[in-house]
Structure 1
Amino acid sequence: MAYDVEKPDEQWRAELNPAEYAVLRQAGTEPAFTGEYTNTKTKGVYSCRACGAELFTSDTKFESHCGWPSFYDARNSDAVELLEDRSHGMVRTEVRCTRCGSHLGHLFEGEGYGTPTDQRYCINSISLRLVPDEG
């Protein structure tokens, strides 16, 4: 797929620190309960750390106690793309930024959380940058 923001691998490596690169560009996962936004309650918009696209809002963030920030919906339907992920011997739904193709995390459904969508976007903190609301 062609993305609005495409850069050579060397440029991504130069712009992202090694941990960011491992998650965003190599579909890695940060360790559970270590991300800066896991327990954040700040109101604002969560954007892609790689390209700045607005992905999620604090209004859809919820406590899932899974070790990563969880959202029950994306900011809009075009913000993220969902891909089948068959790595690690399981079938999951990978969540990527539609603007630059960076890996964000995974989407899980039907887990029984009391959210409007019964979905959990389990997103790596390191994939995001929180832009707090003003005021």
Structure 2
Amino acid sequence: MNEKIEKTDAQWRAELNPEQYAVCRCSATERPFTGKYYDHHETGTYLCAACGAELFSSQAKYESGSGWPSYWQPIDANAVSEQEDASHGMRRVEVKCARCDSHLGHVFPDGPRPTGLRYCINSAALGFDAKE
């Protein structure tokens, strides 16, 4: 993993568009079936929209039917961090970029084999690097 990135709120606001800022820095959630990557099928790597860290391979992406891009594992065990999230009257596990602590989405134990996990990620928190 690359060195941890820390910036002021003003720096994040200046670098991210309003939707990215709301999702990445304020833990907002985009509406289902509206994000750029929920129905995306190119081969490549999904990156953190805030810092460019590699997060998920297209090989781990699958159609969950949830309306958000879903992956059964991160590109590397150290690419994301997870923490309990008890907001909105629910108990979930929040997923953040390990490099810059941007909110990405949540992970649920209802995914496919081999992990049984569903990393449900906001498109606004992602970029994409296509494989040539």
Q: TM-score range by the shorter chain?
A: over 0.9
Alignment of 1:7-46 (within 5 A): 7-46=7-46
**2:72, 2:10 → 1: CA distance?**
34
Q: Secondary structure at the match of 1:25?
A: helix
**1:114, 1:97 → 2: CA distance?**
22
Q: Secondary structure at the match of 2:19?
A: helix
- 1:73-120 CA distance string (max 9 Å, x none): 0001000000000000011000000000000000000x2x43311100
**1:50, 1:103 → 2: CA distance?**
10
Matched, 1:84 2:84: yes
Q: Compute the displacement of 1:124 (Å).
A: 0.3
**2:46, 2:112 → 1: CA distance?**
22
Partner of 1:116: 114
- 1:32-64 CA distance string (max 9 Å, x none): 000010011100000100000000000000000
Partner of 2:54: 54
Q: 1:89 to 1:47 in 2, by over 3 A?
A: same
Cα-Cα RMSD: 0.9
Matched, 1:6 2:24: no
CA contact (8 A) 2:112 2:118 kept: no
State the AA in 1 paired with 2:81. E
CA contact (8 A) 2:72 2:112 kept: no
Identity, in percent, stands at 53
**1:42, 1:17 → 2: CA distance?**
24
Tell me the TM-score normalised to structure 2 length: 0.96
Alignment of 1:91-130 (within 5 A): 91-109=91-109, 111=110, 113-130=111-128
State the AA in 2 paired with 1:132. A
State the AA in 2 paired with 1:67. G
